[in-house]
Copies of this chain bind each other. A is one copy, B any other.
């Protein structure tokens, strides 16, 4: 296979149509340039340049080859420039996992900040629950997870990026819907849609502790995994629920949201998580320049 250097030689001769000037442009002497062309021709098995001692011209084959030669060389040059931008995290791909709820709470702002600060980093987005994200982070399918708090895990680093209030979601016709503010005590002995203790463990435990602190005992009528499922059930009149404040941005019809005076102000936490040994420069750039604050918003 011919080398890129030979292509550069050919391009110079084809453009100058003069071996002497082409050699000068390439910072070499004429004789090795002549040989480079001869060797390129012999490698291709095709005469590219007609040189009759007093004139230099491209053959039909040379004219056909020139654009290809230019394309190959310029592609090589731009590939070299491109790859150099990767280690700085300027350019690359970050696979981001997110939970259904985080799609409303943090994803829009994350995407906007990324587009502004690292526009040439491509984000591949995949919706998964927290446990799936941990699995995907571990086996390298994800670079970054947007997850609920988990127990510390070796090899996985996390950082809180967002926390928000819990608010009450009630069926529009619910008696308490006329109140301006609710309290956690209002949930006592009420039908309530609850989070699954297995697949939405974080929310489940958060609500259990919230109710326990004030001694409220709701009647759990259903267990669900995702916030949007919960809103569907609330709308159908099954009961009331506690959801992250960002759920209000979903604007579900037939569901009324109310502030809840609670013990802790903004207990619902969202974390960023990544594999501690992840070497993707774009991920580190993102943690540094896109999620720089300890609490992001």
Contact = CB atoms under 8 A, between A and B. Distances in A.
B46 A76 contact: no
Nearest to A89: B60
A91 B93 CA distance: 41
Contacts of A93: 60, 64
Given A3-B4, A4-B3, A79-B68, A47 B87 contact: yes
A40 B118 CA distance: 27
Interface of A is mostly: helix
A111 interface: no
A91 to B, nearest CB: 7
Given A60-B86, A64-B92, A86-B46, A77 B279 contact: no
Nearest to A5: B1
Contacts of A5: 1, 3
A178 to B, nearest CB: 56
A84 B257 CA distance: 74
A68 B71 CA distance: 12
A60 B281 CA distance: 7
Contacts of A206: none
Contact of A44 (B68, B78, B83): B83
Interface in A169-188: none
A198 interface: no
The number of chain A residues touching the other chain, given as a range, is: 35 or more
Give this chain's copy count.
2
Contact of A1 (B4, B44, B61, B82): B4
Interface in A35-86: 43-48, 50, 59-61, 64-65, 68-69, 71-72, 75-80, 82-84, 86
Nearest to A282: B60
B60 A279 contact: yes
B1 A60 contact: no
B82 A68 contact: yes
A280 interface: yes
Contact of A64 (B65, B71, B91, B279): B91
Given A44-B84, A72-B79, 8 more contacts: A1-B76, A2-B76, A4-B4, A46-B83, A48-B83, A61-B83, A72-B75, A75-B75
Interface of A: 1-5, 8, 43-48, 50, 59-61, 64-65, 68-69, 71-72, 75-80, 82-84, 86-87, 91-93, 279-282
17 contacts: A1-B5, A4-B4, A44-B83, A45-B84, A46-B84, A47-B87, A48-B83, A59-B86, A60-B87, A60-B93, A60-B282, A61-B83, A61-B87, A61-B281, A65-B86, A68-B78, A68-B83
The 9 A-B residue pairs whose C-beta atoms are closest, nearest first, are: A68-B79, A61-B86, A65-B83, A60-B280, A3-B3, A64-B86, A60-B92, A1-B4, A61-B83
